[in-house]
Structure 1
Amino acid sequence: MKKSPLKYFPAALLAGAAVGAHSQALEEVVVTAQKREQSMQDVPISVAAVSGAELESRNINEISDLSRVVAGFSFGEGTSDAGRNILVRGVGTQTFSRGVEQSVGTVVDGVVASSVASSLLDMSDVARVEVLRGPQGMLFGKNASAGMLNIVTRNPTAEFEAGIGASYADANEIKLNGFVSGPLLGDSVQGRLSLYSNQRDGIIENEYPGGEDFNDRDEWGGRGKLLIQASDDLDVLLAMVHSEREHNCCVAPSRFVNPGSIADIENIPTGPENDKITEVETSPGSTELDQYSAELNYQLGSSTLTSITAYTESEIYSNSRAAGLPRTLLPINEGDSDIEQFTQELRLTSPGGATIDYVAGLYYFKKDMSREFDRTIDFYGLGVVPVPGVLGSTLINDFTFSNESYAAFGQATWNATDTFRLSLGARYNHEEVEVDQVIDNLPGTIPEAPAGRSQASETDDDVSYRVIAEFDIAEDAMLYASAARGYKGPGANTLASGASTPKPIVDPEIPYAYELGIKSQWLDNRLRLNAALFHTTFEDFQTSVSDGQVPPTFFLDNAGELETRGIEIEVSAQPSANLMLMGSLAYIDAEFTDYTGAACYPGQSEAQGCIGDVQDLSGKDMPNSPDLTASLTARYFIPFASLPFDGFVQGTYFYQDEVQYDTRNGPDSIGDAYNTVDAAVGLEARDGRYSVQLFVKNLTDEFYVTGQTAANATGSGTHFLAYEYQRRVGISAQLNF
């Protein structure tokens, strides 16, 4: 049987749809968004699926790149991996406190990621990525108030398979990957081993003599899986993962300097399209992850009993000393975190197709984190003293944090008629949070925060729920409406204010979400149209607020309320056997509706709303949330009848509206709208054995930023740049055995 020459691009840009070369119909997309395998068109929630084959075709293996693939998905930059965050529908975590769970969670093979930094590691040997929009927690382990990133990697196979892949692009970007899979002991034991390596030179040029370039990439890792068919009723999947990342990261070049500032005096590179720095220091960082898991599936009558046990260790280190100056400002800015996490899930799933279908289970979560942080400020770097080496300010912030959670969850679907279904889900959660923090300063220096010790603990019980109604309006078209109450547990303040905060542990974050959507296929399954209208209100949103002093001290607190509302549209079409079109559009209005006591932006006057060094951000934009994003991809298959391979050409257009990048909503932190075009041309063997492509990212060489800040303490306003901030050309190849 002839294999599809679109084997390496089987997923629609947003819907993950596949199509054969001589078929006029889109293939079914199977997801596990409701903890059972279902067609995406039968799942009554807003979910986008991207296959691993599509990620390979696009040379994507970083989570941040999903913002170009999934409507309503965005990524917030930071000065380290731990300072970045994922946003869905304009909402993500808005604090640097390590004692706060992420509003958008990440799950890999049923195991919750132990930290933000570890969730950003390479997506290697992936079967598919699912982005679940809106509050999640009914069926997934740890609650996530804004959305969930569900990554499913490839499992061992009954037949021998192996493959290697490589790509090379500008900035000496070299990506290597390989896998081998197949039977080990007949049909009873199967194994899979995959490895990857990604390297890239720094993309931010350092003009300081002998200085290192910044924002490079150097990581490697592997995953081993063993599938044991213990009996006709029991299979066991054992997995081990190891990943390491090291980089000199993450620097933002200056786009302007204030006259008379240190940055101005030192004449550092600047400009609206500046991609250079003059930096005497470095900012090394590393993340290391080890994870061990065991998944058991036992056929209990007609139902399936699933157990997932996992233990994760991760170490995260950063020493972000770079300040964009040819003089030292931060001799030490060092944080070292150790995280241990244990999870246990038991789940019972009905076979499906009955009058009542159900999923029910129990979940246990335990995370322990310890972090040591030391920072010194050299006043020479601020221009306060004429000679270097005068340590005017120091901070020691050491803490331990633990979070223990017990949960019982379930969802039942009543298939009332052939065209109407009603689902009810609920989750009981018991959370225990503890923090022990010590703040100190070196004698004789100006304290950045009051010294002392903070010890606090809190427990919380909560019930969240979801109600979904579905109605088939045609054979391949379904309308659904849902209402949900989500939950994100109490958060601990691990900021420098920890020893003096009046509220070391803040209240849970509660979203109320409403959604109306359609899942539909038309024209004999040659056109797929999915859309969703949504409105979500977050009460007691966890964020950082200012105390109004000069200089301000930041505390973890509940901001009151924020709202996000909008529409997402995803379209896939197969006009002919050789042409595939995919498009998406998301319009999102995310804003604070009750946020008093927020920090003022630099230079904000009383007339502009800064009173007592605080401002009211009620009615202002959420950061990193563009109002409008849109994309369109076209792929055309070119058959070569007399040759063993066929060709293809592919192009993607992406547009992003202007966006506010800073929580403080300053005018200097608004990024301009931009659009990019990616293109590729390649060959693929008809039997799927090999493929090669020449690709161009940002074909039109459109300069754009992924983050923007107002003037900092050195008097410099900066912007963050992605790898594709300028045109990048490369070549990739895949060989399968």
Structure 2
Amino acid sequence: MLVHAEYGNTTAPGSGNVASLQAAVNFPVSANSALRLSTFFTRQDAFVKDLAQDQNLGNTSYGGRVKYLWEPTEAVRLTLAGDYQHSKGRGDGVFVHSYTAPGGLIATINAANGITASPTNNLLATDGLGYLVSKVYGGQLKAEVDVGGGFTLTNILAYRKFRQRMASPIDITTADIFNNNEGGYDYRQTTEEIRLSSPATSRFSFQLGLFYLNLRAKQYLLQGANLGLPVPPGLSFAGGFLDQTARTKSYAGFFEGQFEISDAVRLTAGGRYTHDVISLRDKITNPSAVIPLYPNIDFDVSTKQNNFSYRFGVDYDVAPDVLAYATYSRGYKGPTFDQLSGARVAPEIPKSIEVGLKSTLFDRRLRLNIALFDTKYDGFQTLAQAPGLSAGFVTLNAGQLKTRGVEVEYNALLAEGLKLSGGVTYNNTEYKNLKNVPCYYGQPTGTSGTNVCRPNGTTDVSGNQLANAPRWSMNSTVRYERPVSGDWVGFVQGDVYYRTSAYFTQTRDQQTRINGNAIIGLSFGAHTADDRLTITAFVRNLFDKRVPTYAIADPVATVYTGPAGVTDAALGGDYWHNFGPNSYRTIGVTLNYRM
């Protein structure tokens, strides 16, 4: 039996409480079968506060999992599993204003409610209630059969379903401007995989198999905007309804084998052939609206794609505790469609080289891994925001995305009871030939070159760093423990996560920039010598760094007209951001029990 319980309190506005409980138990059912049950419950109070509405902006989630293992014979092993999760509350999905156009409509309304947009703002005031409810569940049957000679035949049949319903006021104000925003998602997928594995102890080992995926993703979205104008009941001044269904059927066959040339050298080679059939049915209408919010769209498009991806690698035992390796791989991400235009987006093909060392040194007191990587994504698929009343996100192919760098991982025993672990990553990324990204509000204009807004409203971001990808990131944990009394061992631990600056957009819009930051945590506690019981007091984000999880431009700032008769877009636009669990200092306690 395993039990994990946690309670904490954050510096978020409101009560700021967070609590979770997880439990799992295993027990035999018969001489050749066993059952495992697990469950969880989490409650997170809101990360932001609505000054005008008494609504719950937190999140509550609960669920469970059951797994049944049956071995009817020595050669057959069956595992049946099912899980369910329910989530209610908008949680970290609530956006607030990080920037508003000076003198614009949104800034004026917010000021009347005592709200000032800023990089640390966590307040909003709205005239409508929002909600977010989701369910995800599924089941899986795994059959493993020993077919003789050490060969194993495995079949995995699985089904999953996801359903979500949501509503929120888009304008995030107390004015009746853009209030109606309701939607939902319904995803369901069935997968089937069968594979044959050879004995792992053979000089030549392999696995081969077939895979099938059937996915249907349905989305609907109803939006309405009154723009502060008087509108008859049951109507909106501008409105639109999106009804979209995407389907994917994917068939694949795969093989991977490893051959031991000698006791120190091993070669690995594998390949996968994929056939995808993808379709998108998109219908946009404008019911109950004085004017259409979107152009009427009705299309049904489909495409097929074949692909062969592969991987080659070599491992070399330089010494008993030092492994050198090199791999080259060609991957595949299937084609898709832009959801508003129906334009086909070509497949994304990553080609990657990695070389590295994995080592255990100094009588196993230091584990050190080093990897150098160089990846080129041909046809890199990316989402770009398109501001405007009828805008959303457009899906584009970059000519190429290049990413190269080095990753170091370490785990060291510095002294008796004193451990240091962590890693450092340098990742230099660069868009190549990505020329048709929509401009951001107030972007400098020009007719040629990169990062200037051209007359057609697009910009060339070639040479920019990948969105939300810091060049440097680092994490490190130091822990010291020693016996304190009887069977109890005390410990103290510190950890830090650091990342350099990055942008949430390809265009390097300054309003979507996240500065370099370091998040520090401390904890102390005690555990029994047999690790059955552990009690920990902790503080996360010690210095209460208010780091957003995402930042985005308000796409309809082009239609907000302020007191001076100028749109917010012309004054620099409006921007949103949101916060998550790591955006606030949290002080709490955890208990772990293992029977």
Shift of the 592–405 alpha-carbon distance from structure 1 to 2, 3 Å rule, reads same
Quick check: 1:203–1:213 contact (8 Å CA) kept in 2? no
Whole-Å separation in 2 of the counterparts to 1:207 and 1:263: 16
1:220 aligns with 2:62: yes
- Say which SS state the counterpart of residue 511 (structure 2) adopts: helix
**Aligned counterparts of 1:288 and 1:551: Cα–Cα separation in 2:** 30
1:731 aligns with 2:589: yes
Show the counterpart of 1:205: 49
Partner of 1:276: 123
User: In 2, are the aligned partners of 1:601 and 1:665 still within 8 Å (CA)?
Assistant: no
Aligned partners of 1:550 and 1:286: how far apart in 2?
Answer: 27
Q: Secondary structure at the match of 2:89?
A: strand
Q: Which amino acid aligns with 2:517?
A: Y
Look up the equivalent residue of 1:543 and give its one-letter code: T
Map of 2:155 onto structure 1: 307
C-alpha distance in structure 1 between counterparts of 2:387 and 2:488, whole Å: 67
- Give the Cα–Cα distance (whole angstroms) in 2 for the partners of residues 197 and 661 of structure 1: 32
Deviation at 1:554, TM superposition (A): 5.1
Q: Residues 538-579 of structure 1, C-alpha deviation per residue, up to 9 Å, x if partnerless? A: 112223468999976754342322111111111001123311
What are the superposed Cα offsets for residues 306-338 of structure 1, whole Å, 9 maximum, x if unpaired? 111101122122223253312233332122222
CA deviations on 1:211-241 (whole Å, 9 max, x unpaired) are: 3253x22100000000001111111010010
- For residues 243-266 of structure 1, give each alpha carbon's deviation from its aligned partner in whole angstroms, at most 9, with x where no partner exists: 111112422332332122122211
- One-letter code of the match for 1:567? V
Q: Distance in 1 between matches of 2:50 and 2:435?
A: 40
Q: Deviations over 1:447-502 (max 9, x none)?
A: 33321311122211111111112222111111111111111112133x3x24xx4x
Pick one of 348, 366, 370 that aligns with 1:527.
366
Mapping of 1:228-627 within 5 angstroms?
Answer: 228-249=70-91, 250-266=93-109, 267=111, 268-301=115-148, 302-380=150-228, 385=229, 391-442=236-287, 445-493=290-338, 495=339, 497-498=340-341, 501=342, 503=343, 505-544=344-383, 555-607=394-446, 609-611=452-454, 612-627=456-471
**Paired letter, 1:207:** L
Q: Which residue of 2 aligns with 1:676?
A: 519
Once the two structures are TM-superposed, the CA of residue 195 in structure 1 deviates from its matched residue by 0.5
Q: Which amino acid aligns with 2:462?
A: S
How far residue 625 of structure 1 moved from its aligned partner, in angstroms, is 0.4
> Percentage identity across aligned positions?
28
CA distance in 2, matches of 1:366, 1:295: 18
Q: Deviations over 1:332-351 (max 9, x none)?
A: 21222222211011111122
Work out the CA distance in 1 between the residues paired with 2:66 and 2:384. 44
CA gap of 1:425–1:590, structure 2 versus 1, over 3 A, is same
1:704 paired residue among 547, 552, 556: 547
Q: Structure 2 vs 1, CA of residues 687 and 592 (structure 1 numbering), >3 Å: closer, same or farther?
A: same
Is this contact kept in 1: 2:519–2:541, CA < 8 A? yes
Q: Which has the higher strand share?
A: 2
Are residues 328 and 647 of structure 1, via their aligned partners in 2, closer, same or farther at CA, if it must alter by over 3 Å? farther
Instruction: Give every structure 1 segment of 4 or more consecutive aligned residues whose post-TM-superposition deviation is greater than 6 Å.
Output: 386-390, 546-551
Q: Which residue of 2 aligns with 1:135?
A: none
- In the superposition, relative to structure 1, how do residues 397 and 224 fare at CA in structure 2: closer, same or farther (>3 Å)? same
Which residue of structure 2 aligns with residue 692 of structure 1?
Answer: 535
Corresponding residue of 1:189 = 33
> What is the rounded CA distance, in whole Å, between the counterparts of 1:445 and 1:513 in structure 2?
53
Match of 1:646 among 489, 493, 505: 489
> Is 1:167 aligned to residue 15 of structure 2?
no
- Consecutive unaligned residues of structure 2, counting only runs of 5 or more, are 10-15, 561-572
From 571, 575, 583, the counterpart of 1:717: 575
Seen in structure 2, the aligned counterparts of structure 1 residues 371 and 668 have a Cα distance that, compared at 3 Å, is: closer
| RMSD (Å) for aligned C-alpha atoms | 2.2
Where relative contact order (Cα < 8 A, 6+ residues apart) is larger, the structure is 1
Does the Cα contact within 8 Å between 1:168 and 1:732 map onto a contact in 2? yes
Show CA shifts across 1:148-188 (max 9, x none).
xxxxxxxxxxxxxx2322111012211011111121112x0
- Structure 2 Cα separation of the partners of residues 548 and 399 of structure 1: 21
- Give 1:35's aligned residue: none
- Structure number with larger C-alpha Rg: 2
Query: Which is worse superposed, 447-456 or 691-700?
Result: 447-456
Secondary structure of 1:705's counterpart equals coil
| Separation of aligned partners in 1, 2:34 and 2:471 | 48
Alpha carbons of structure 1 residues 350 and 550: separation in structure 2 relative to 1, 3 Å: same
The reply on whether 1:628 has 2:472 as its aligned counterpart is yes
**What whole-Å deviation, never above 9, does each CA across 1:108-139 have from its counterpart, x for those lacking one?**
xxxxxxxxxxxxxxxxxxxxxxxxxxxxxxxx
- Paired residue secondary structure (2:238): strand
Maintained 8 Å contact 1:283/1:322: no
Structure 1 residues 276 and 619: alpha-carbon distance in aligned structure 2, compared to 1, 3 A threshold: same
